[in-house]
């Protein structure tokens, strides 16, 4: 069982918008920044969002992140078939002295 909680799956139609949630606690999301990753089938994870809402260069502005209290969200607009992937959130946990990840959300674009 993961320390950060994400919905296991989401299904949306092309062009729509989806929001993926990530719920934690005061020792992780409540005190530290949240990071989001996209993992395409058979590939290594790729950084999408850092420090809650910052996009690395090269990541389209269709991807956005936010954080409030002990929860965070990743929003993806204008969904395309190539967005089909697993999405993971992560944060440093002060109590565990380690990084914790969400269980991942499998996004299907149908």
Cα(95)–Cα(75) distance, integer angstroms: 28
Give the residue, chosen from 35, 38, 83, 107, that forms a contact with another protein under the rule CB under 8 A.
35
Minimum distance from residue 9 beta carbon to another protein (Å): 13
- Report the DSSP beta bridge partners of residue 71: 23, 68
Cα(6)–Cα(40) distance, integer angstroms: 17
Given the complex with another protein, which of 15 and 56 has the nearer CB atom? 56
2 binds another protein (CB under 8 A): yes
9 binds another protein (CB under 8 A): no
Cα(38)–Cα(15) distance, integer angstroms: 18
40 binds another protein (CB under 8 A): no
Given the complex with another protein, which of 27 and 50 has the nearer CB atom? 50
Interface segment toward another protein; rule CB under 8 A; list 9-17, 22-30, 66-74, 102-110: 102-110
DSSP string, 26-57: TTTTTTS-EEEEEE-TTS--EEEEBTTTBPPT
């Amino acid at each position: 069982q993961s320390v950060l909680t994400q919905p296991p799956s989401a299904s949306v139609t092309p062009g729509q918008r989806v929001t993926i949630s990530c719920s934690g606690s005061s020792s992780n999301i409540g005190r530290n920044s949240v990071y989001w990753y996209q993992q395409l089938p058979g590939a290594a994870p790729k950084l999408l969002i850092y420090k809650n809402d910052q996009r690395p260069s090269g990541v389209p502005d269709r991807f956005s992140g936010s954080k409030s209290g002990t929860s965070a969200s990743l929003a993806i607009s204008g969904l395309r078939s190539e967005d089909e992937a697993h999405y993971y959130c992560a944060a440093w946990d002060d109590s565990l002295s380690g990084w914790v990840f969400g269980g991942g959300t499998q996004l299907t674009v149908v």
